[in-house]
Amino acid sequence: MNKILILALTIAFSSLASANETVAIDAMKTTESETSFESIDVDSDGVISMEEVAEHEVLQLAFDELDANKDGSISEDEYKNLSEITQ
């Protein structure tokens, strides 16, 4: 009985994790398509800082991966890689 319960819970949590991942990916795709680099680069210095993504939860989560050269900001070229991350 316990083995069946454990198996059922494992399957349920696995399905939930998969669904959450799908929702996150869809949100990233929506963020990319609806948010231009220029609209996020509030101070127009040509890069996006962590402070500028404060209102963009998806970009906060992807910030370190997008910041390819690890300089603490996202250039316009690095921002273009958002679509590769979300595929």
Give pLDDT, residue 27. 54
Give pLDDT, residue 74. 96
Distance CA 87, CA 85 (A): 6
Give pLDDT, residue 86. 65
Inside any domain, residue 15: no
Residue 12 has pLDDT above 70, yes or no: no
pLDDT band at 13 (very low <50, low <70, confident <90, very high): low
State how far Cα 38 lies from the chain centre: 18
What is the total count of domains within the chain?
Answer: 1
Domain range for 74 is 25-85
- pTM as predicted: 0.60
Inside any domain, residue 44: yes
Inside any domain, residue 56: yes
CATH number for 51: 1.10.238.10
Residue 21 has pLDDT above 70, yes or no: no
Give pLDDT, residue 18. 52
Inside any domain, residue 48: yes
